[in-house]
Structure 1
Amino acid sequence: MLIGCPKEIKPQEFRVGITPAAAHEAIIAGHTVIIETGAGLGAGFSDEDYRAVGAGIVDTAAEIFATAEMVVKVKEPQAVERKQLREGQVLFTYLHLAPDPEQTRDLLDSGVTAIAYETVTDRMGGLPLLAPMSEVAGKLAPQVGAWTLQKANGGRGVLMGGVPGVLPAKVVVIGGGVVGTHAAKVAAGMGADVTVLDRSLPRMRYLDDVYGRDFKTAFSSAALTAELVAEADMVIGAVLIPGAAAPKLVSRAQLSTMKPGAVLVDVAIDQGGCFETSRATTHADPIYEVDGILHYCVANMPGAVARTSTQALGNATLPFMMALANKGWRLACAEDDHLLNGLNVHKGKLTYAAVGAALGLPTVDPREAIRL
Structure 2
Amino acid sequence: MARYKLHCIGAPVAALALALLFALPMAVGLTGTAMAQGALTKTQSDALNAYNDAVKNFEAVLGQRRAQINSKQPLPNLPGQALYLARNKMLSAYKDLTDAMPSKIGGPNKYEIPPAYFNVATEPLLDEYRKLFDVMQAPPASAQKSDTPFKDVVDLGTAIARAKGLDAVNAEAAGRISLGLFFAETNGNQTIGNARSNKYKGSLQTGTSEDLNGRRKWAAIKPSIEAFDPALILRDDKEEARAGNMDHRFNHWTSVRDALMNAHAEVFPQVPAIVKTLPDPIDQMKLFELIQIIPSPTKSALKSGNLLNYRISDPRIMGFLRNNSVFTFGQADRARTSATMREILDAMWLFNAKFEQALARFKEIKAGQKV
Structure with the higher fraction of residues in helix conformation: 2
Normalised by the length of structure 2, the TM-score is: 0.27
Normalised by the length of structure 1, the TM-score is: 0.27
Structure with the higher fraction of residues in strand conformation: 1
